[in-house]
Amino acid sequence: MGNALLQLCYLIGSVTFIMGLKMLSHPDTARKGNLVAAAGMIIAIFGTIFLFTSENTEHLHNYIWIFAALAIGTIVGTMAAKKVQMTAMPEMVSLFNGMGGACAMLISIVEYRRIMDIIAANPSYIPETGKMIVVVLGMLIGTVSFAGSMIAWGKLNGRIKDRTIPGGQMINFVIFAGLITLVIIVSGGFFPNMPALFYGILALAALYGILFVMPIGGADMPVVISLLNSFTGVAAAFGGFLYNNPVMLTGGILVGSAGTILTILMCKAMNRSLKNVLIGSFGAQKAGPTGAAKEQGNFKEISLNDSATLMAYAQKVIIIPGYGLAVAQAQHVCHELEKVLEEKGVEVLYGIHPVAGRMPGHMNVLLAEADVPYEKLLEMEDANDQMGSTNVVLILGANDVVNPAAKEDPSSPIYGMPILEVEKAEHVIVNKRSMKPGYAGIENELFFRPKTSMLFGDAKKALQSLVSELKQM
């Protein structure tokens, strides 16, 4: 009876995950979809706690431990998720993903120790190959995901810099080959009395995760996080095999396959292939574009006053937000600027590049937080159509997404990525903190073009000054 009820809980869980994901992919139903999946998760979790019976029909024990851990995780998780700033969302997702990977890793370690205990008690026992494969691979993938997510997290919050390791690809290949060999040896049970081999896989997998993410440019982190996300899904699915558990299997595989597709979709939005992101990382090509930097001439600066005047007498202004806006937390001031300009009869729109910021949709979320009306946010194609009739384009801390090299310079690492064609407008004002290149680490020739004027300073301060200048006019 209890078991039948548990299976029903798992079925409900699986169905809510599928429905949740489906609803999450439509703007109108997305929020409800998230809640539906969460409800299914709660049913599956409590079903397991109270109804699960092992092979000898024993219920689970250690309830105090389980509930203590659940409480700690819930409190810490909720606080972390509630407190995190909008700008730090991507790294938070990466961090939570890493936790899931670590969880899969720990499960496999405990299960492995149990197998070792049985062998110690009965040396003639040979564990099933299938079970060993599932334990070892679950641990391996979970560890890679954990280590990789931690590096991605560190990169996004600036603790870890991009670094290319000479011969890195070769090293990764050797580690990968070593991992496969070890997996075959351990799961084949060739040396059943050598736990060192199992923990060797653990160490190598962690190293692999680190080296895999390390050379990938910070601008590509969203793609990497999405990929690691699907890895953790697969690790969870191995847990499903281990416990013959349908909800872990559906949940894990669903995320594994949906995550892979999402990764590919993200790459497409940047017009790059996954291979290009993983192997041809920006860092590796840094040597190339420095040669082109020589040709650049001078840039011209523009004062706050002149910028304000230029915009006040414009008919149409398009604002292009980038990561600089997010860092400066300038979304509210930005909305204020928009309102002041509208009062003066200027039409203000926003041009949103799909990968502006650190994650797809980052800018939409940020501007929505500041109550910028939805209709004002133009997608890249629409914004480009409007550029021709625009007087002033104001670029706020965006760089690579407006770099003309993506269209003009085949040797550029971002060549082929669709950009916002700001040069079709009459004037371009670029607000940046300095002349330092953007996240991709490449020079932006736009800053030296005749139409472009530079307005240096922190986005928030610059916008505040612009607003007060405009109000005085």
Partner 1 sequence: MDSLISLFTDAATYRLITIVILSIFLGIEVISRVPSVLHTPLMSGANAIHGVVIIGAIIVMGEARTDDYVALTLGFLAVILGTLNVVGGFVVTDRMLEMFSKKKKK
Q: Is 320 in the site for partner 1 (CB under 8 A)?
A: no
Q: Which of 390, 372, 378 is nearest to 350 (CA)?
A: 378
Q: Using the minimum distance from each CB to partner 1, give the nearer residue, 89 or 201.
A: 89
- Cβ 354 to partner 1, closest distance in Å? 4
462 alpha-carbon distance from chain centroid: 29
Residue 400 is a catalytic residue: yes
Q: Is 244 in the site for partner 1 (CB under 8 A)?
A: yes
Q: Using the minimum distance from each CB to partner 1, give the nearer residue, 226 or 307.
A: 226
329 Rama sector, left if φ>0, alpha if ψ -120 to 50, beta otherwise:
left
Residue indicated by tokens 């790059």: 272
- Cβ 136 to partner 1, closest distance in Å? 15
Spell out, one character per residue from 24 to 53, where the chain touches partner 1: x when CB under 8 A holds, - when not.
Answer: xxxxx-xx-xxx-xx--x--xx--xx--x-
Segment interacting with partner 1, rule: CB under 8 A, options 104-112, 157-165, 195-203, 273-281: 104-112
Indicate the residue type of 87: T
Given 7, 11, 12, 92, the residue binding partner 1 (CB under 8 A): 92
* Contact between residue 216 and residue 280 where contact means Cβ atoms under 8 Å apart: no
Q: Edge-to-edge, what's the strand order for the sheet holding 300-301?
A: 300-301, 452-456, 427-432, 392-396, 316-321, 347-352, 377-379
Segment interacting with partner 1, rule: CB under 8 A, options 68-76, 281-289, 341-349, 400-408: 68-76
Which positions ≥6 away from 450 have C-beta within 8 Å?
none
d(CA 175, CA 169): 10
Spell out, one character per residue from 251 to 270, where the chain touches partner 1: x when CB under 8 A holds, - when not.
Answer: xxxxxxxxxxxx--xx--x-
- Scanning residues 363 to 402, which ones bind partner 1 (CB under 8 A)? 364-365, 368-369, 371-374, 379
Give the SS3 label for residue 137: helix
Given 5, 8, 76, 203, the residue binding partner 1 (CB under 8 A): 76
- Cβ 90 to partner 1, closest distance in Å? 7
Tokens of 248: 């872990």
d(CA 50, CA 59): 8
* Contact between residue 139 and residue 201 where contact means Cβ atoms under 8 Å apart: yes
Q: Is 107 in the site for partner 1 (CB under 8 A)?
A: yes
Q: Is 109 in the site for partner 1 (CB under 8 A)?
A: yes
Given 18, 119, 279, 302, the residue binding partner 1 (CB under 8 A): 18
Q: Using the minimum distance from each CB to partner 1, give the nearer residue, 378 or 467.
A: 378
Dihedral sign computed on CA atoms, order 99, 101, 103, 109:
negative
Tokens of 307: 């910028």
Q: Using the minimum distance from each CB to partner 1, give the nearer residue, 105 or 207.
A: 105
Q: What is the CA radius of gyration of the chain?
A: 26
Segment interacting with partner 1, rule: CB under 8 A, options 63-71, 337-345, 388-396, 409-417: 63-71
Q: Using the minimum distance from each CB to partner 1, give the nearer residue, 115 or 311.
A: 115
Q: Is 8 in the site for partner 1 (CB under 8 A)?
A: no
- Cβ 198 to partner 1, closest distance in Å? 14
Segment interacting with partner 1, rule: CB under 8 A, options 171-179, 243-251, 310-318, 395-403: 243-251
- Scanning residues 431 to 470, which ones bind partner 1 (CB under 8 A)? none
Which residues is 146 bridged to in the sheet?
A: none
Q: Is 322 in the site for partner 1 (CB under 8 A)?
A: no
Dihedral sign computed on CA atoms, order 256, 259, 264, 267:
negative
Q: Using the minimum distance from each CB to partner 1, give the nearer residue, 31 or 300.
A: 31
Tokens of 81: 């998720």
Q: Is 66 in the site for partner 1 (CB under 8 A)?
A: yes
Find the catalytic residue in 162, 220, 306, 400.
400
* Contact between residue 51 and residue 2 where contact means Cβ atoms under 8 Å apart: yes
- Cβ 66 to partner 1, closest distance in Å? 5
- Scanning residues 120 to 179, which ones bind partner 1 (CB under 8 A)? 128-130
Helices 2-24 and 30-51 pack at an angle, to 10 degrees, of: 160
Distance in angstroms between the alpha carbons of the first and the last residue of the chain: 77
Active site residues: 400
